[in-house]
Amino acid sequence: MLAVRQRAVKQSSCQQRGWLQPGVIMSKLLTNRDLAAIFTLIANLLEIKGEVVFKTLAYRKAAENLEQMGQEARALWSAGQLRELPGIGKALADKIDELLRTGRLRFLDELKQAVPVTLVELLQVPDVGPKKVRLFWQTAQVTTLAELEAAARGGRLAGLAGMGPKSEAKILAGLEALKRRPSKLLLGDALPLADELLAMLRALPGVAAAAAGGSVRRMRALVGDVDLLVAAEDAAPVLAAFTSYGGVAHVLAQGGTKASVEFHTGLRAQLWVHPPARFGTALQYATGSKDHNVRLREIARTKKLSLSEHALTRANGKELLCASEEEVYAALGLAFIAPELREDQGEVQAAQNGSLPLLLERAQLRADLHAHTNWSDGKDSVLELAQAAQARGIKILAITDHSRSLAIANGLSVERLRAQAAEVAAAQHKLGSSIKLLHGTELEINADGTLDYPDEVLAGLDIVVASLHMGLKQPRAEVTARLLGAINNPHVDMIGHPTGRRLPDREPADLDMEAVLSAAAATGTALEINANPARLDLDGSHVRRALALGAYVAINTDAHKAHDLDLMPYGVGTARRGWCEAAQVVNTWTEKELLKWLSH
């Protein structure tokens, strides 16, 4: 799955930086992510060219390793230790050296001359792989998305080898789906940058407060630029520190109280500096959403006030300054509304009548009920992952490696599943009572609707998380029936990432969500909020509906390595967007309560 995401996301990174243009000199301040994007671009071009598989795999593996490294390759390069990078032999080390020394790579420039670089855009189209791209290029002279659409609409693809009218129609449907994709960032890319910048800003002399605003603060799955606000009397030194921060490639704009920058990664951020006495109204305004702010301004008018980012102003022109957001809402006669709720979805009315939810807090979560080890496609052993969970204060961890049909993820046969139980028991014995380990599976819901293990195998597991990975493009009736079949199986405890979406690459399955949520509520089957920023599935709107129907939800990291356990706040943010309180979140229950639910 990683390779697919690299094609779309990292290719997009290359487009943002302009690297797809022949002869472009790249910035010398390349990060691991930049290097990974370049190696993925090379792999894509080599695949389209028809190069032997092992070469393309070497570049993809190197990209994956660079992406997951905690230390920057630049530091190892400076120390002459590039060969110590995992998966980096002499040839790749030489290429990294050339990139970091010169800002360009001769091999990539030559490859772009041999293969039209715009061909990599075609890999974004669903069901279009390198072989098809090569076919379109060499036999139909298609090199861009626009040319592909024109060829498909003109009927020029149906006659190509292995193609037909149905294939051509699928290409057109894929192109339409691609157009619908939002050109925004994953929250998982934007929030870490915001946190890093806020830590720097809060440490500056004279800064009284600093916070993120916009869709980042509202924890939307996809966001635009990173908006930041600072409370300080003197804006100049704050703006100077912001615009000169390491990683800033361009200062896009700068004034007396505001600056906007672009980082070498292509991410953009903007900063506003306001006096501390006005920080509350500024933060409320910058957090949004637009519709929420409109609703607040309407309420302000009923109280003969006007609300702006600077202050509440009375009819006589006298300003009412608010240093905190709580003061803003109180002045309007409202209870404080958490940022995640500010979407004009009834939250203002709830604040007026005292019916706002007591939102879930991260500290209330005790369990992570969906995690993978090196028995399937995870990186760590059962004990290593359990120790990492223990160190993070997790009280209950479920080991749920993939089932047998998902061969691409090294799914477990029944024999391997039973053998794994012994390793889980051994880890439990070693760790004692400080953490409870559950032995389970992420059970594949097969394309024909059957479940990947027989009931007698499922009955012997502590927990069963059933998920869709294949056949996501089936018609609504078929894919919904598959999910309903799993929900109604008495051995299935939870549905993992219910819609199967991957942000921003893969659209969700066309499910009858009302039927799915209602069935889950009726059977007591939990629905997962997958905390991985590339999923965040269920989304907030479906969470809210599920809770209204009486369904349980679970917030899990779907961890594939120890650091993934730190993704939980993304899931909590999504749950809060769904007006989620703790009682219906199975991860908040005590061990006794959780085991009782699992036994039913």
The domain that contains 170 carries what CATH number? 1.10.150.110
Torsion 442-443-445-448 (CA) sign: positive
Same domain, 312 and 461: no
Same domain, 236 and 349: no
Q: Do the domain assignments include residue 11?
A: yes
- Measure the N-to-C terminal CA separation of the chain; round to a whole number of Å: 34
Q: Among 271, 2, 8, 188, which residue's Cα sits nearest to residue 16?
A: 8
For residue 206, what are its two tokens?
Answer: 């004279």
Q: Do the domain assignments include residue 562?
A: yes
Same domain, 21 and 105: yes
Residue ending a domain, among 226, 245, 274, is 274
Residue ending a domain, among 300, 334, 356, is 356
Rounded to whole angstroms, the Cα distance separating 578 from 341 reads 8
Question: How many structural domains are present in the chain?
Answer: 4
Element (H, E) at 307: strand 305-307
Q: Do the domain assignments include residue 286?
A: no
Rounded to whole angstroms, the Cα distance separating 486 from 525 reads 10
Q: Do the domain assignments include residue 487?
A: yes
Per-residue pLDDT of the chain (600 residues; tens, 9 = 90+): 223 323 333 344 444 444 444 444 444 467 777 888 899 999 999 999 998 888 888 898 888 778 656 567 887 888 888 887 777 888 898 999 999 888 889 999 999 999 999 999 998 887 788 999 999 999 999 999 999 999 999 999 988 988 889 888 888 988 887 776 556 789 999 999 999 999 999 999 999 999 999 999 999 999 988 999 999 999 999 999 999 998 898 898 899 999 999 887 778 899 999 999 999 999 999 999 998 999 999 999 999 999 999 999 999 999 999 999 999 999 999 999 999 999 999 999 999 999 999 999 999 999 999 999 999 999 999 999 999 999 999 999 999 999 999 988 999 999 999 999 999 999 999 999 999 999 999 999 999 999 999 999 999 999 999 999 999 999 999 999 999 999 999 999 999 999 999 998 788 998 999 999 999 999 999 999 999 999 999 999 999 999 999 999 999 999 999 999 999 999 999 999 999 999 999 999 999 999 999 998
Cα separations in angstroms, 32 against 96, 111, 160, 285, 321: 10, 22, 40, 35, 45
Residue 360 burial (CB count, 10 A): 25
Same domain, 329 and 407: no
Same domain, 175 and 188: no
Q: Do the domain assignments include residue 428?
A: yes
Same domain, 346 and 463: no
Ranges assigned E (strand) in 383-484: 396-402, 436-444, 463-467
For residue 52, the enclosing domain spans 2-180
Same domain, 485 and 426: yes
Q: Do the domain assignments include residue 270?
A: yes
Q: Among 109, 72, 105, which residue's Cα sits nearest to residue 91?
A: 105
Which residues, 6+ apart, have CB-to-CB distance to 290 below 8 Å? none
Same domain, 562 and 494: yes
Same domain, 16 and 147: yes
Phi-psi map region of 135: left, alpha, beta (phi>0 left; psi -120 to 50 alpha): alpha
Q: Do the domain assignments include residue 175?
A: yes
Please tell me what DSSP assigns to residue 45: H
Same domain, 301 and 410: no
CATH number at residue 332: 3.30.210.10
Residue ending a domain, among 111, 146, 180, is 180
CATH number at residue 452: 3.20.20.140
Same domain, 513 and 555: yes
Q: Among 100, 175, 107, 167, which residue's Cα sits nearest to residue 145?
A: 175
Could you check whether the bond before residue 271 is cis, i.e. omega within 30 degrees of 0? no
Reported pTM: 0.75
Please tell me what DSSP assigns to residue 407: G
CATH number at residue 225: 3.30.460.10
Same domain, 489 and 552: yes
Q: Do the domain assignments include residue 284?
A: no
Q: Are 130 and 47 a contacting pair, CB within 8 Å?
A: yes
Residue 561 burial (CB count, 10 A): 17
